[in-house]
Amino acid sequence: GQQLNQSPQSMFIQEGEDVSMNCTSSSIFNTWLWYKQEPGEGPVLLIALYKAGELTSNGRLTAQFGITRKDSFLNISASIPSDVGIYFCAGPSGKQVYSGGGADGLTFGKGTHLIIQP
C-alpha cells in the first residue's frame, strides 16, 4: 500500500527559529495535506495542496506540493511555544469508491514531533 515517510522524526529547536520538515512517498499523490496534533486532541488540518508546484501559506506556515507529486514540504517561520505538537503529512488513498466528491480515506505519515525550548 501507499506509505508516507516523514523527516525528521523529531525536532528540538529554540523559540524564534524557523522549522522545515518534509514528506516523501513512493507513489504519486494528487492532494497533499498537513495536519497538526496536540496532546489529547485529534489532528487538525493546517494546509491542503492540490496542484504540483503549489505553494500555500497559512500565517507563519508555508507548504509546497513537490513537482514530482511524490513529496511535500512544510515550513514554520519564527516558531512560538504554541507550535509544539506532532505534524503529519497525509494524502487521500485514491480509491474514491464513491464518485460523489472528495471523500476518501487518508494515508498518514508517522509524524514530526516539534519541541520548542524557550
Binding site for other proteins (CB under 8 A): 4, 30-31, 33, 40-45, 48, 50, 88, 90, 92-93, 95, 97-98, 100-111
Instruction: Give the span between the Cα atoms of 97 and 75, in whole angstroms.
Output: 33
Residue 78 Cβ, how far from other proteins at the closest point, in Å?
26
Instruction: Give the span between the Cα atoms of 104 and 82, in whole angstroms.
Output: 30
**Nearest-CA neighbor of 57 among 66, 48, 67?**
48
Residue 53 Cβ, how far from other proteins at the closest point, in Å?
16
Q: Which is nearer to other proteins, 41 or 118 (CB)?
A: 41
Q: Which is nearer to other proteins, 16 or 105 (CB)?
A: 105
Residue 62 Cβ, how far from other proteins at the closest point, in Å?
19
Q: Which is nearer to other proteins, 77 or 106 (CB)?
A: 106
Instruction: Give the span between the Cα atoms of 33 and 71, in whole angstroms.
Output: 11
Q: Which residues contact 43 (CB under 8 A, 6 or more apart)?
A: 35, 36, 37, 88, 108
